[in-house]
Amino acid sequence: MKKVNLIYYKDKSFYGNFGDELSKFITESLINKEKYELVYNQHNIEVNIVCIGSYIHMAKNNSFVFGSGIRTSNNIEKGHHYTNLNICAVRGPLTKKFLEDKKLTVPELYGDPALLLPKFYTPVIEPMLQDKIGVVPHKSNYDKYTNKLDINKFYLINPTNNWKSVINAICSCKYIISSSLHGLICSDAYNIPNLWLDEFNLQEGDFKFKDYFQSQCRPYKKILSVNEFDEKHLFTDGNRLNLDKLAQGFPFV
In this prediction, residue 12 carries a pLDDT of 82
In this prediction, residue 14 carries a pLDDT of 78
Calpha distance 167→170 (Å, rounded): 5
In this prediction, residue 13 carries a pLDDT of 81
Mean pLDDT for the stretch of residues 240-252: 98
Residue 190 has pLDDT above 90, yes or no: yes
Calpha distance 120→235 (Å, rounded): 24
pLDDT digits (tens, 9 = 90+) for 20-34: 999 999 999 999 999
Calpha distance 225→25 (Å, rounded): 32
Looking at the domain 124-233, which fold is it? Rossmann fold (3.40.50)
* % of the chain exceeding 90 in pLDDT: 96
Calpha distance 131→140 (Å, rounded): 27
Mean pLDDT for the stretch of residues 79-98: 98
pLDDT digits (tens, 9 = 90+) for 137-175: 999 999 999 999 999 999 999 999 999 999 999 999 999
In this prediction, residue 64 carries a pLDDT of 98
In this prediction, residue 75 carries a pLDDT of 93
Please give the single-letter amino acid code of residue 187.
S
User: Where in the chain is CATH 3.40.50?
Assistant: 124-233
Quick count: other Cβ atoms within 10 Å of Cβ 48?
23
In this prediction, residue 223 carries a pLDDT of 98
Mean pLDDT for the stretch of residues 122-137: 98
pLDDT digits (tens, 9 = 90+) for 219-243: 999 999 999 999 999 999 999 999 9
Calpha distance 160→152 (Å, rounded): 23
Calpha distance 69→8 (Å, rounded): 12
Residue 126 has pLDDT above 90, yes or no: yes
Residue 72 has pLDDT above 90, yes or no: yes
DSSP assignment of the chain, as one string? Answer: -EEEEEE-----STT--HHHHHHHHHHHHHS-TTTEEEEES-SS-SEEEE-SSS-GGGPPTT-EEEEE--S-TT-TT-----S--EEEEES-HHHHHHHHTTT----S-B--GGGGGGGT--PPP-GGGTT-EEEE--GGGGGGTTT-S-TTTEEE--TTS-HHHHHHHHHHSSEEEESSHHHHHHHHHTT--EEEE--S--TTTTHHHHHHHHHTT----EESSGGG--GGG-B-S---S-HHHHHHT-S--
Calpha distance 116→167 (Å, rounded): 13
Mean pLDDT for the stretch of residues 131-137: 98
In this prediction, residue 11 carries a pLDDT of 86
* Entry pTM: 0.97
